[in-house]
Structure 1
Amino acid sequence: MSSLFETTYNPDVLSCIANLSNDEVFTPPELANKMLDLLPQEIWSDPNATFLDPACKSGVFLREIAKRLIHGLESEYPDLQERLEHIYKKQIFGIAITELTSLLSRRSLYCSKYPNSRYSVVHFDNAEGNVRFKNIKHTWRDGRCIYCGASKKAYDRDDDLEQYAYEFIHIDNPAKVLDMKFDVIIGNPPYQLSDGGQKASATPLYDKFVEQAKKLNPRFMSFIIPARWFDGGRGLDSFRKEMLNDRRIRRLVDYPNSADCFPGVDIAGGVCYFLWQRDYRGDCEVTTSVNGKTDTYMRDLGEYPTFIRSSKALRIIKKVEQLNEPTMDTIVSSQKPYGLRTFVRPEKSGDLILRWNGGEGKFPREKVTSGVGWIDKWKVFTSYLTHDHAGQTDSEGKRRIISVLEVAQPGKVCTETYLSIGAYDTETEARNLDAYIRTKFVRFLILQVTSTQHLSKANFKFVPIQDFSQAWSDERLYSKYGLTQDEIDYIDSKIKPMPQAGDPDAN
């Protein structure tokens, strides 16, 4: 019988749970341990070190912390039961995000859903132990929760339904509620919550967990979160600025493809985890991991207002910037370039042509509410959605970035499905701009600030404006900016070719 248990595959149940669905992104044990490896090794032999997971789901962080402390404190507490009593009651704490995850987390940590039962590895006088869950309600003001932005219409519900009002981010001062100091705060917080808007609109939540954790001023903090904060994300401008200029972030591990970190999970823009160290001030060690290959380098995260993921890309950008040329974000429209929403359609008559995602048709000039100066110019339209699903690469690790790209003649406008670029008197200039955007060079520069499926004028901030009375090719651009063969090969390794206008597969 013993040989059966030795030879039969016996997977970790938390590894299985981590692969169940995308609804809640559970953390595989292997990933939890990579994050724990960022912490100094001496912390596992410190009997006074305290740990908090403020967003318990499966309890994997608490369980893996316990395993390390059980080994590290063996000499301090030779008696196993005494060691367990000390670790579980004085060092490890958690806040569950739902009642169900509280039971799952206690089962992972204490080997029992109820730590006051006889099955628990240590006995508590209550059914929670040190893994708490409180059914917090949202605080509504003008139809929104003042803490998380949840829609009252969607989440003002009966008490027997899940509220999704996570305790850790629904309190003004977590230090007063938790009433203790923590050396380490670590976890995988909920990423977003539907806010009741159109197109499955959602409000980010992970930034709020990071901000709350900083209020507790731990010695160390580590969270795994979506990487879209690097250069975009709804309502994340202040969070991005604060993170990039926080010199206490000592390590940052970046996965541009979320499947490299969470197998089978598709998170647009990838994910990252970081180590924040209270008593550290300096550059950050950045590790980028793609298909199992890593690139590590030291960086000042605040060098740019957005985060450039690759050290090789950073060198190319610096070469481009040496010429101090104006950039294309100054000639790209904002959203709704002509004030026309996605649902606007052509009409029976009108002196303009409206481009919408289903085709073209007549449209009256008087209904255009913005971008009036561009109407009678030559310009280029591009889809605000990228070509690549959820910002993911193909099997070769390449992206195309630009989806639809077309030259628009005078008298042509578009809905907000598109961005409008440039405004020229001649067709030649517009066609040269179109060809310029199709180059690998330009799309590579756009890629450096594109972590989601959406494009805006901000994604063109590193793309220099050229003299569009002339034609531009990759070869000419590589020569102009002095790129080495290694840099050219790097661009080729990241960007797919894009057919020129007029080719059958141009869009």
Structure 2
Amino acid sequence: MNFDIVIGNPPYQLEGASGGNNDAPIYQIFAKIATSISTQYVSLIIKSAWFTTGRENLLRDFRHHMLTSRTVSRLVVYPNSNILFPDVEIKGGCCFYLEDKKYRGKCEYTLVNNGIEETSMRKLDAFDVLIRDPKVSTIIEKIDEIRKEKGYGTVDTIISADTPFGIPSNPRTSKKTPCKVYETKQNKDDVLLYHIQNGKRLIEYMSINDIRKNVQDIPKYKVFVTGAGGSGNDKKILGKPVFAEKNSICSQSYLYSAFESKKEAVNFEKYLRTKFLRFIVSSIKITQSASNRVYRFVPLINLNNEITDKKLYKLFKLAQNEIKIIENSIDVL
């Protein structure tokens, strides 16, 4: 059976899920079915998390279709879902789209944010993710082009994955993997444990013999940054990074980068605080989740040099209007 037009508001994730970034989305399944049974038009209201985040194994193909098929003729985006659904919080916001099987071209894209509607014609496939603000996307494209010209890598390659040392976020009370944690050092081989308990950042101790993951990085200097934080719409974007001396580890609450050089570690901590870096992260981080993936467009610059926003703006040849956008959208950390 086929229909000329399919419209709807499908369920977003499996029943009983918390709505977090790791919940199993199912709206993409309904979207695929809608496309298959429609002879021309599909219009659905769905979460916007597919733009950049979510379960890659479940959303990758859907995202690729939406960005590259050129059949999406209209896309309206609401970072604040309360505009459409006052009684429901949808992390990452929501959107509705019109897919026209007989259309091939740019998408009429509307961003509805803080009471302001901005519409433009966009090519959705500038990246393999969709940056929701077109003005931000243009700046990221410029930075990424210069990054490639200069031969820089990207910061996501030096930031760990989740639960980097195998220590849960609640090391003392975890039912699955409880750990012995001490307020004071018990043995000379104990290592510093950076973790968060009841919203408070703590530095305590664990035995090095209890660590099974990434043990090669324990003797190195490190920078820790929280793996989640903010709303996806706030102006700080990331939690405050922490420089750590050698012989340190962290719980699941943090991700880390390791360095042989103390100078590089200190400068990387400063880099994470810059508005420049957090602006780039904000282009992808539209929910609380701050996995290493959100750093994939951040240039991995020379960390032996002094790092300031002013120097970064000059290095990446940003114009005054571009600098103004960054300065106005990101708070001091």
State the 1:466 CA deviation. 1.6
State the 1:197 CA deviation. 9.2
Q: Work out the number of aligned pairs and report it.
A: 311
Unaligned runs of at least 5 residues, structure 1:
1-178, 394-398, 499-507
Q: What is the 5 A alignment of 1:99-498? A: 179=1, 181-194=2-15, 202-234=23-55, 235-323=58-146, 324=148, 325-345=152-172, 346-348=180-182, 349=186, 350-358=189-197, 359-386=202-229, 388-389=230-231, 391-393=232-234, 399-421=235-257, 423-498=258-333
Unaligned runs of at least 5 residues, structure 2:
173-179
Greater share of strand: 2
Query: What code does the residue aligned with 1:442 have?
Result: L
Structure 1 stretches of 4+ moved >4 Å = 195-201
Separation in 1, partners of 2:18, 2:10: 22
State the 1:246 CA deviation. 2.1
TM-score by length of 2: 0.87
State the 1:204 CA deviation. 1.4
Distance 1:310 1:332, change over 3 A: same
**Are the aligned partners of 1:194 and 1:203 in contact in 2 as well (CA < 8 Å)?**
no
Query: What code does the residue aligned with 1:370 have?
Result: K
Identity %: 35
**Are the aligned partners of 1:195 and 1:201 in contact in 2 as well (CA < 8 Å)?**
no
**Are the aligned partners of 2:79 and 2:92 in contact in 1 as well (CA < 8 Å)?**
yes
**Are the aligned partners of 2:19 and 2:91 in contact in 1 as well (CA < 8 Å)?**
no
Query: What code does the residue aligned with 2:156 have?
Result: D
Separation in 1, partners of 2:208, 2:71: 54
Separation in 2, partners of 1:196, 1:317: 33
Distance 1:459 1:202, change over 3 A: closer
Bigger relative contact order, structure 1 or 2 (CA pairs below 8 A, ≥6 apart):
2
- 2:175 aligned residue: none
More divergent stretch after superposition (325-334 vs 199-208)? 199-208
Q: Deviations over 1:421-476 (max 9, x none)?
A: 2x222322211111111111100000111121111111001100121122211111
Q: Deviations over 1:362-387 (max 9, x none)?
A: 2122222222222111111011112x
Secondary structure at the aligned position of 1:272 is classed as strand
Secondary structure at the aligned position of 1:192 is classed as coil
**Are the aligned partners of 1:195 and 1:203 in contact in 2 as well (CA < 8 Å)?**
no
Separation in 2, partners of 1:296, 1:424: 44
Secondary structure at the aligned position of 1:382 is classed as strand
**Are the aligned partners of 1:340 and 1:369 in contact in 2 as well (CA < 8 Å)?**
no
**Larger Cα Rg: Structure 1 or Structure 2?**
1
RMSD: 2.1
Distance 1:271 1:436, change over 3 A: same
TM-score by length of 1: 0.58
